[in-house]
Structure 1
Amino acid sequence: MACSKSAKNKVDYFSNAPDIVIDKILESMPIRMAARTSVLSKQWRHAWLSLEKLNFDAGFWAVTKDNSNVDWRKGSQIISGILLCHSGPVHEFDLNLPCEACMTYRHWISFLSKNGVRKIVIRNCYLKMAITTPIFWCSELVHLELSAFNLNPPPTDFIGFPNLKHLVLAEVKFITQSSFSSLIGNCRMLETLKLVNWSGMDHIVIDAPSLQTLVLNGDFQSLAFGNLRSLKSISVCLKTMPKNHTTTVATIDAVNLLASSCQLRYIKFDGHLCKLFAAGGNIRSSSVTFNNLHGLCLSNLDLSNFDAFRYLLSMVECCPYIKKLDISVISSQNVGQNIVDFNYNYKLDHLREVIISGITGSSAELKLVEYLLAISTVLENLFLKCGKLGIDSKLKMSSALMGFPRASPKARLLFLEK
């Protein structure tokens, strides 16, 4: 009797979980698994149909495979069915798009544009095609990420994305030079912009007063900036060298302008860009100083190019307040003692950490290490990541490094394994 009464008084916490708990549980599940929770209880029956985050990524399409081929019709029907039965807003939509489903996804985006969508991520997996027009109707977008699409100019009645803060475009082909400028022209809230491996746009102009993070990884002939007063981080990697000297000068001027026009705290330039700057004249000659910079990364440097080597030294001296310096080397050689002029009177009074990757033990690399140790008064750690280097070569290099004078009594030389 007592046991029976006790059983009646027990509360089914799972079936009677608060809505916020149910939502958190469902959001952590793949969409197909979330759908299966409808059999748990009356309260769970329709909960998954009001999810604000819908994820149809590679994992979703994998379970539709038939004889190792994706059943795109089955997958498309499932997505259409979920959206048709969905109640409430959809704030986030993540989609891997098989090329065969391209005719259907336009309707999905049209549905989202009327349901308050704030984040859209679409990866076009197999075939480049034009982004569907309804994407421009999503006026509440905060985050937009597109991969492998052709981007036509927005429709004439497009007024911009007034709330957009994060824009990522990868493997995108701009059909006209104005496609990009028309897209971001009225995105005054944009904080993060990443362009990766694009095509169809040789001359990049960026005017975004709220932009804080800029990443450019691809090919361009020239780069120009408008109002970037809020910019704090910039990363520019060129796949190949520009050929036009006039546009090269424009790019150098644009980057130099950032020293006085914004509050940059982090810069990453790759080897091609450094070589371009070196060919255009020493950056130091224009009295450029990045006074707010805390982190400097120069990647894929060819120290066999003496102009690039001098540029490296000049760039370091243009950043008197850096705390972390990251350098990666792809090629270097032995240099004469006086080929490069080292200004040992210059001091870095804030640099605490240096990482140099790809070390092979050449005299160019050793002179660089010697110089950094001599001018860094508060340096704590200098990490060396060796390239293809035998044990004997590493021991010989270690012996040379130990003999270098150090401006900082706390400076340590540490070898890191890959």
Structure 2
Amino acid sequence: MYLRSLSGKELDNRDLGAKSMYWYHKQAKEKQFKLSSRICSKSSVYSEIIENILLRHIGPIHKLDLTIPSWMFSEIDINHWLLLLDSPSSIKEFVLKNYIKSLSQKLPGCLYSFVGLTQLTLFNCHDLNLPPTFKGFPCLISMDLHISSVPVGALEAQMLEKLISLCSRLQKLTLCILGKMINFTICAPELQDLVVKDIMSSLSLKATGNIKTIGVDALGEDLESLQTLKLLEVPLNCNYAVPFILCLFRSSPHLQRLCINASSFEKCSGKSVQNKGNFTLPCLKYVEFAFKASVELELIKILLASCPALEVMTIVLSETFTAENKLEVAKELMQYDRASPNVEIILKP
């Protein structure tokens, strides 16, 4: 185990013993701490060291990185550790890593009082325990959630969704989740960077019109089990949107249901990119489009040519469409090649 002040000074048990006075004077005002593995191998001693460090610290801590080693006891009162902080509202970056494979660490309740938090990283800590009065982290910009030791259930997924949606300024989100969650919705209006890995059977993106980059390389074969995909308020008129959606399609060979609702934004930087499918969705049977502009025709054309099992494609036309607009869309659709001989295209006003 080791303790490191993030200014670069690495401390071991000798520093905490014979050199404790030197450490106290030089490090007691350190604003960034990483407490990890080389101090000891006993739970009680490890907890005592952390308590002494936090209790004797003077002034605010801006970054706190805590590790729960695999040999620790199952019952760990992290809340007690954090209550020792002199100024919890000063925490800007908080990292909690749990290496006890049989335990999903319950998050400490006082964590939700860290109103100045800008970066949050949680490893194997999906028991969020959100208090009823929690209104989100108003300053949080980056969130990194890794859950790989315990499968995530529906209730826990809802708590994760709520946590994300309550962070109104969230710009960067990384999700690495083990488990076949039934549904998962990402709602983050200010989100710009998204990385998703080991995702569940149903994924929805809602109110994510500001996304600029998405970690599609991390998907690989991790969407093999995805059966339902909902893309809500997607800015299809932006140059990144269609390539990203096509990458999702290529990573989802077992997709059965698809829903796409384009955003109502009229202006966006970049031009629409013409794409060729070069893929097949052999299991896709049902598609629904909320049609607002001609840019959706690009995806419709690709899907009709790439889905041999497609049964129904429902296109809900915008209320602003005139009778002439609707006729033009119908004529355009009639010209597209169809991989499925039995597909039914339904136009709804």
TM-score, normalised to structure 1, is: 0.52
Structure 1 residues 199 and 276 mapped into 2: Cα distance closer, same or farther (>3 Å)?
Answer: closer
Look at both structures and tell me which one has the larger radius of gyration over its CA atoms.
1
Structure 2 equivalent of residue 53 of structure 1? 32
Q: Which amino acid aligns with 1:260?
A: N
Structure 2: how far apart are the matches of 1:256 and 1:104?
42
Deviation (angstroms), 1:102: 4.3
Of Structure 1 and Structure 2, the greater helix share is in 1
Q: CA offsets, 1:365-390, max 9 Å, x none? A: xxxxxxxxxxxxxxxxxxxxxxxxxx
Structure 1: how far apart are the matches of 2:269 and 2:252?
20
Residue of structure 1 aligned with 2:109, choices 108, 127, 133: 133
Q: Which structure's relative contact order is higher, taking Cα pairs within 8 Å and 6+ residues apart?
A: 2
Structure 1 equivalent of residue 82 of structure 2? 109
Structure 2 equivalent of residue 275 of structure 1? 253
Deviation (angstroms), 1:100: 1.6
Structure 1: how far apart are the matches of 2:226 and 2:49?
50
Structure 1 equivalent of residue 176 of structure 2? 196
Residue of structure 1 aligned with 2:63, choices 88, 92, 110: 92
Structure 1 residues 153 and 79 mapped into 2: Cα distance closer, same or farther (>3 Å)?
Answer: closer
Deviation (angstroms), 1:193: 0.7
Pair 1:157 & 2:157 matched: no
Q: CA offsets, 1:104-132, max 9 Å, x none? A: 32211233473511111111011323222
Structure 1 residues 199 and 139 mapped into 2: Cα distance closer, same or farther (>3 Å)?
Answer: farther
- Check conservation: 1:259, 1:291, Cα contact below 8 A: no
The sequence identity of aligned pairs, in percent, is: 22
Structure 2: how far apart are the matches of 1:213 and 1:92?
22
Structure 2: how far apart are the matches of 1:56 and 1:294?
48
SS at match of 2:45: helix
- Check conservation: 2:65, 2:95, Cα contact below 8 A: yes
Deviation (angstroms), 1:201: 3.5
Structure 1: how far apart are the matches of 2:194 and 2:211?
8
Structure 2 equivalent of residue 364 of structure 1? none
Q: How many equivalent residue pairs?
A: 254
- Check conservation: 2:28, 2:56, Cα contact below 8 A: yes
Deviation (angstroms), 1:62: 2.3
- Check conservation: 1:177, 1:200, Cα contact below 8 A: no
Structure 1 residues 81 and 101 mapped into 2: Cα distance closer, same or farther (>3 Å)?
Answer: farther
Pair 1:241 & 2:224 matched: yes
TM-score, normalised to structure 2, is: 0.61
Structure 2: how far apart are the matches of 1:275 and 1:54?
45
Structure 1 equivalent of residue 310 of structure 2? none
Q: Which amino acid aligns with 1:111?
A: L
Q: How well do the aligned residues superpose, as a CA RMSD in angstroms?
A: 3.9
Structure 2 equivalent of residue 169 of structure 1? 145
Structure 1: how far apart are the matches of 2:191 and 2:6?
34
- Check conservation: 2:208, 2:234, Cα contact below 8 A: no
* Segment drifting more, 112-121 vs 211-220: 112-121
Pair 1:145 & 2:121 matched: yes
Gaps of 5+ in 1: 1-24, 65-69, 284-289, 296-302, 310-317, 320-418
Structure 1: how far apart are the matches of 2:128 and 2:180?
11
Structure 2: how far apart are the matches of 1:52 and 1:262?
42
Residue of structure 2 aligned with 1:78, choices 17, 35, 49: 49
Gaps of 5+ in 2: 261-267, 283-297, 300-349
Q: Which amino acid aligns with 1:161?
A: F
* Segment drifting more, 169-178 vs 217-226: 169-178
- Check conservation: 2:143, 2:172, Cα contact below 8 A: yes
Residue of structure 1 aligned with 2:190, choices 201, 210, 227: 210
